[in-house]
Structure 1
Amino acid sequence: MSADHDDQDRWGPLGALLHVVYEIDDREQMLTRFFQRLRDVLRFSSGVFLGIDAQRLELREGFAFDCAHSTLTAYLEHYAAFDPYVLRGPANFRINQSVRLSELMDDGALGRSAFIDFMQTVPYRHALAAVCGYRGRPLAAFCIHRPPGQPDFTTEDGHLISALAPHLGRSLALREWLARHSARESSGLLVFDERGQLVFRDAAAERLLEGHDVVELFELLTRKESPSMVVLADQHYGVERLAWQPASLLTRFMLPEAKPGSSALTTSEVREALGKAEKGMIVRLRRFEQRHDLCQRLRRYGLSPREVRIAEQAIVSDLTNADLAERQHISAETLKSHLREVYRKTQTRNRRELILKVLGLKMDGA
């Protein structure tokens, strides 16, 4: 028996649905399996799952189940404006609460609506939908359909979708959070003692430093105060020095071994070890992601969004000022004015000094 059948036997149809929502990483695969499993519990002909831009409250491209994906494009480009679900307005929907299409518009009004043209292309006559979200944020619009000739969805069907919607919302929020923080997965943690010996590195740091000399890294880190970047074998790495904290789990690498026959370290031994720890170093290391890192660093100098865009282009491209002005759709004089402000805020005098400073490189004579 397959693992899928084992799950269904153990948890039942609803448990299998929740297992799919939380356990399948790939979003499209998760939605495909979710709609398939939902049919074990509820009869429907097709379904859609559209993302919602929470900042602009706009529907985005999404997932179509047993209906042509091209219908989603037609819907977003034209028919959404006539959709009874959309026409009710954001003030009237409740997140994670299902609504039947028949509750929003009767058959007569629906038949006269321009939206009936779209419904006939899918095709469907009945719909049950919910806005899935998390902590008050709408994240996706979920909808299932039934064709003409079949009965409308029941109140019990609505209760089921209302029960599932919060889990879809939480799953989307988790995926969104993981996407935002995925860069952290490529960053590694290293700990050096006061003598420069590497006493700890996590698995991510081990992957990042594969083939590199750790001694060279420590020398680069101590060459000048708090470098923001180091270069190992032509690979640029962003570095961040982390402060030692009394509650840090890493402190144990600085503690001496307990004396034979002693059950614990003495207070003075702990204080002495923590004092030495301050001379050690905790470092977070990650591969330099040029555009993201540059923009993040430039914003720290208090640059405006326009100044960040101009400074970033000035650093990563070899465009002349005239070309930069054309790309930014501004005059050459306006560009010069922006660059002067960039140089003032970053305390540099020209593009070369800006590049050296933002990239954390050593200037000649410095």
Structure 2
Amino acid sequence: MHIQEANDWVIFNNITYQIHQIADFHEMCRNFLEQMRLLMDFDGAVFYYSSDTELPKLTHAVCCNYPEATAQEYLDAYQEKDFSRGLLMGGKSMVYRESDVFSADELEKTECFRRFSKEEGFQHSVHILPAFEGKVLGKISFYRKAGQPDFVYDDVFLLDMVKEHLALRTARCYQEHVRQHEKLSIHECEEKFRLTARETTILGLLMQGLPNDIICGQLTITNNTLKKHILNIYKKLSIRNRTQLFKMVREYSD
């Protein structure tokens, strides 16, 4: 089924809406593959993506009627042998069929086709490479079994319309991941977690690596009072110890 009737457009619009609205990225990937069955015939699919620090290496796979162990084998040992590695390095969004790149004889000679298509009973494939700001962020592959017709240009056109939605959603996921793992300055902690002036001062001294007795001496407070302030800081920052503190807050600087 392709986007030819009003009902198909309703389905397509719902798919693109869910790409942006499903909060959990892994669940979004799974939902996308399952929903695409309503518009395009395929026998198996895999949504490969990466952690933001590993790009362009792919590190995760969400499967739809495709063996998870096989997808993991591709990630662990074969992706650098895949000709699409060069496309991943290119940094451009695209949709392509393998039959547009290789003849049938050439395809039979490629190691990745023999292992990840033929051995699993698949003959035809079409792929999306979603890219954002010069980085390819993943690879989504759809497969048809041997004996089925190859994907046609209507399928390519459909995937081409959805690829930028996937690129934007994936980029947003990576950006949120980066923000969550960026260290905060002392001033940012003060504002974000509403630290008191005393707590902010103590946080700065802690980030200098000073031991408790030195901090007590500088502030003329007892060790018990200092411990209460530190526990309040931990509570506001939702952490439990100084190790977590140093992972969350940037080291002290003048």
Whether 1:141 aligns to 2:139 is yes
Q: Matched residue pairs, number?
A: 219
Amino acid in structure 2 at the alignment position of 1:106: S
- Percent identity, aligned pairs only, is 16
Instruction: Tell me how far 1:170 sits from its aligned partner.
Output: 0.8
For 1:63, the equivalent position in structure 2 comes to 62
Q: Evaluate the alpha carbon distance shift between residue 11 and residue 112 of structure 1 in structure 2; reply closer, same or farther with a 3 A threshold.
A: closer
What is the CA-CA distance between 1:23 and the residue it aligns to?
0.7
Q: What is the root-mean-square deviation in Å for CA atoms of aligned residues?
A: 3.5
Report the Cα distance in structure 2 between the residues aligned to 1:173 and 1:47, rounded to whole angstroms. Answer: 21
CA contact (8 A) 1:124 1:146 kept: yes
Specify the SS of the correspondent of 2:117: helix
1:297 to 2:236 alignment: no
Structure 1 unaligned spans of 5+: 1-7, 191-201, 210-216, 239-284, 302-366
CA distance in structure 2 between the partners assigned to 1:67 and 1:27 by the alignment = 19
Counterpart of 1:182? 180
Closer/same/farther in 2, CA of residues 62 and 228 from structure 1, 3 Å limit = farther
Cα deviation, 1:1-35, whole Å, max 9, x if unaligned, reads: xxxxxxx9797011111111111111222112111
Instruction: Give 1 or 2: higher helix fraction.
Output: 2
Partners of 1:16 and 1:37 within 8 A in 2? no
Alignment-mate amino acid for residue 158 of structure 1: V
Q: Does 1:100 align with 2:97?
A: yes
Letter in 1 for 2:251: R
Trace 1:58-207 onto structure 2 (pairs within 5 A): 58-86=57-85, 88-90=86-88, 93=90, 95-115=92-112, 116-182=114-180
For structure 1, which segment, 145-154 or 227-236, has the greater mean C-alpha deviation from structure 2 after superposition?
227-236
If the length of structure 1 is used for normalisation, what is the TM-score? 0.51
Once the two structures are TM-superposed, the CA of residue 81 in structure 1 deviates from its matched residue by 3.9
Deviation at 1:123, TM superposition (A): 2.8
- Tell which has more relative contact order, 1 or 2 (C-alpha 8 A, sep 6+): 2
Instruction: Judging by fraction of residues, say which structure has more strand.
Output: 1
Contact 2:91–2:134 at 8 Å: present in 1 too? no
Task: Note the C-alpha offset of 1:172.
Answer: 1.2
Does structure 2 conserve the Cα–Cα contact (< 8 Å) formed by 1:97 and 1:131?
A: yes
How far does the alpha carbon of each residue in 1:227-265 deviate from its partner, in whole angstroms, 9 at most, with x for none?
466864652528xxxxxxxxxxxxxxxxxxxxxxxxxxx
List alignment gaps of at least 5 residues for structure 2: 1-5, 207-225
Say which one has the larger Rg. Answer: 1
**Whole-angstrom distance in 2 between the partners of 1:15 and 1:105:** 33
Going from structure 1 to structure 2, the CA distance change for 1:13 and 1:234 (only over 3 Å counts) comes to same
- Residue of structure 1 equivalent to 2:31: 33
In 2 relative to 1, CA 117–9 (structure 1 residues): closer, same or farther, beyond 3 Å? closer
CA contact (8 A) 2:199 2:233 kept: no
Asked whether the 8 Å contact 1:84–1:104 carries over to 2, the reply is no
